[in-house]
Amino acid sequence: MKKAGFITKILHTKFSKEDPHGSLHAPLYENVAFEFKNAEELELAFQGKKPSHMYSRISNPTVEHFERRIQAVTGAAGVVALASGMAAISNAILTVTRTGDNIITSKHLFGNTYSLFEQTLKGWGLETRYGDLTKPEGLRELIDGKTRAIFLETITNPQLEVADLKALSRIARETGILLIVDTTMTPPYLFSAKDFGVDIEVLSSTKWISGGATSVGGLIIDHGLFDWKKNEKLSGDAVKSGPFAFISRLRREVYRNMGACLSPHNAFLQSLGLETLPLRLDTACANTHKVAEFLKRASGVKSVNYPGLKDSPFYETARTQFGGKPGAVLTLDLGSKEQCFKFMNHLKLVRRATNLHDNRTLILHPASTIFCEYSPALKEDMGVRETLIRLAVGIEDSQDLIADIEQGLETLR
């Protein structure tokens, strides 16, 4: 039989232990502690020498099953599920860097990620260097002996830029640093990170994977491509754990000590969401194309940005990397902030909320919300204009969405 497809793999991932009742869904283990027959077994478990769960902050059967499903569809060396996408980013960075190190990224980042780098981690001695990731060769001059990683989003939020990941991977490989990529906008199924040389994939599973914003969660996926002897912090771990040096340090130190574990309840919901991920992604991407095409023709709209539009400067790169489905977020510019607010306030179907990839279509004015803590000059530098609106398109019937947007735009005339 041919290699199984995405949904088949998700639905038929083996349980780590056979369920005594033959349940088709991996049961929800909503407990904290696990009992052992004797003290010797408990000691072995603590040493990692017995395959047992001990305490749900460290591991849990329901969370494990969710991780194994992600592993099945990505072919990863290891997967760790966490409490949120931000927990995934912070845990991944803290595992591979130490004080005095630096990472390279772009200022075109999700606002909270920028804040993590510039406020939280900077205070602990991690330097973040900013470059233009859409011009990969220019990054070489930022890389030095203390550079540990290039970090980026597959599609930046809300600028919707798409960098050439194979080119970035080549630079990372040549300089012995990691390529860490946030794939929240293009999760597995839309984007096969391993095929593009991504070493570590991080994402917010709150969005698509949870089934449409049912619960908060995050994932770290180690694609097993990096030679850990080249990372100064993990070179010793590479001797003991080989290709699993990162996962080992993460599980046994950073993830365990930071405590940002995914709750079993959320893991159960996200595992359910995963079963229908491709169906929802296909619909949302198709809807986004239709809405983008409508907005291009609509009067009062100054510009529309979506990497799936042929006039996007990132169209070709997005087509190559995401197989013609470049996520379900678009942005549009109106004449002023006031017009943006008026338009948003007159929408009846589209919801005013801060999230992406709910099953419902959500609208947001990034400059006054996610980026509100930044100065006008920095916002301009980040490509976050006062006239910019972000639309995260859902899976409603596209004609209903377009009708709602059309009546909202009519109020501006």
**Host H or E run for residue 204:** strand 200-204
Decide if residue 79 touches other proteins (CB under 8 A): yes
How far is C-alpha 279 from the geometric centre of its chain's CA atoms? 19
Provide Rg for the chain, Cα atoms: 22
d(Cα 180, Cα 199) in Å, to the nearest integer? Answer: 6
The torsion angles phi and psi of 301, rounded to 5 degrees, stand at: -95, 120
Decide if residue 9 touches other proteins (CB under 8 A): yes
**Which of 39/377 has CB closer to other proteins?**
39
Which position among 6, 42, 68, 282 is part of the footprint of other proteins (CB under 8 A)?
68
**Which of 7/378 has CB closer to other proteins?**
7
- Kindly state the tokens that stand for 306: 């979506």
Which position among 94, 160, 250, 292 is part of the footprint of other proteins (CB under 8 A)?
250
Q: How many residues bind other proteins (CB under 8 A)?
A: 46
Which position among 241, 276, 359, 387 is part of the footprint of other proteins (CB under 8 A)?
241
Report, in Å, the least distance between residue 223 CB and other proteins.
Answer: 12
Which position among 7, 46, 57, 75 is part of the footprint of other proteins (CB under 8 A)?
75
Bond before 158 cis per omega within 30 degrees: yes
**Which of 12/352 has CB closer to other proteins?**
12
Report, in Å, the least distance between residue 40 CB and other proteins.
Answer: 10
Contact in structure between 217 and 209 (CB atoms under 8 Å): yes
DSSP state of 137: G
Which position among 6, 7, 36, 52 is part of the footprint of other proteins (CB under 8 A)?
52
Report, in Å, the least distance between residue 134 CB and other proteins.
Answer: 32
DSSP state of 219: E
Decide if residue 244 touches other proteins (CB under 8 A): yes
The torsion angles phi and psi of 174, rounded to 5 degrees, stand at: -65, -30
User: Between the CA of residue 269 and those of 59, 63, 171, 303, what are the distances in Å?
Assistant: 17, 10, 38, 38
Interface ranges with other proteins (CB under 8 A): 1, 4, 8-9, 12-14, 16, 44, 47-53, 58-59, 63-64, 66-72, 75-81, 222, 238-242, 244, 247-248, 250-252
